[in-house]
Amino acid sequence: MRSFFARYKLFGIVLLCLSIVIIYLFYNALQPVKLLPVYSPAMVNSELVADEIQHVRKYHTIADFSLTNQNGETITQDNYKDKVYVADFFFTTCPTICPIMTKNMVGLQKALGNDSDVMLLSHSVTPEIDSVAQLKKYAIEKGVDDGNWNLVTGPKKEIYELARKSYLAVKTDGDGGPFDMIHTENFILVDKDRRIRGFYDGTKKEDMDKILADIEILKKSYEK
């Protein structure tokens, strides 16, 4: 009897290991795939959405744009084609939340490293102050790597319409006029199809951890 068990001991160990592998593979196969929501205006606090699009329940995407970055280059939606990106709104002379947001965005850039699938996009809400030269100075001071992060300026009305009607990011009903001012702490995660996939508080460290995790979920959703 002892010789029988000794003879089949190796076979039993191999069978046990194989069974464990099969159970593990079945367990993973049965786990639901993590997916991020696709946000439409109807899903967002109505205070953040322009009246004319509050009824939209699907197919909401970021509108086309043409702005100028810290290097004087024209930046359009084509620069972000087939990219996941994080957008925000700031101004270089902001003494309150913007320095924290910029610091956290720098942290995101460092955490993403050389990931060519992910980019960053920061819109100035005081374009009359934030010239190309001012944005470049700010970028250098804050440690912005312009390889995948554009700080953009341009027509105030265009930027404000993007904030309100595309990124669903602000609570004001202003028109982008000279006395209009928006200020939001939101970071917005946008997918390769220009759809909003998440909102995050750009002043909170825990939200930066969340956005990095969600970026990985989003990237995996594109894997074939």
Q: Which tens digit of pLDDT belongs to each residue from 70-95?
A: 999 999 999 999 999 999 999 999 99
On whether 98 is known to bind a ligand per the annotation, the reply is yes
**Among 9-23, 93-107, 155-169, 177-191, the least confident range:** 9-23
Percent of the chain surpassing pLDDT 90: 67
Q: Where are the domains of the chain?
A: 1-31, 41-221
On whether 17 is known to bind a ligand per the annotation, the reply is no
On whether 60 is known to bind a ligand per the annotation, the reply is no
Residue 118 backbone dihedrals phi, psi, to 5 degrees: -125, 135
Which residue, 119, 97, 99, is CA-closest to 192?
119
Q: Which CATH number fits domain 41-221: 2.60.40.10, 3.40.30.10, 3.30.530.20, 1.10.472.50?
A: 3.40.30.10
The string of pLDDT tens digits covering residues 163-192 is 989 999 876 545 555 556 677 899 999 999
Q: How far apart are CA 137 and CA 118, in angstroms?
A: 24
- Range ranked top by mean pLDDT from 6-15, 17-26, 38-47, 94-103: 94-103
pLDDT number for residue 28: 44
Q: Which amino acid is at 211?
A: I
Asked if pLDDT for residue 158 goes beyond 80, the answer is yes
Terminal-to-terminal C-alpha distance of the chain? 52
Residues making up the chain, counted from first to last:
224
Radius of gyration (Cα) for the chain, nearest Å? 23
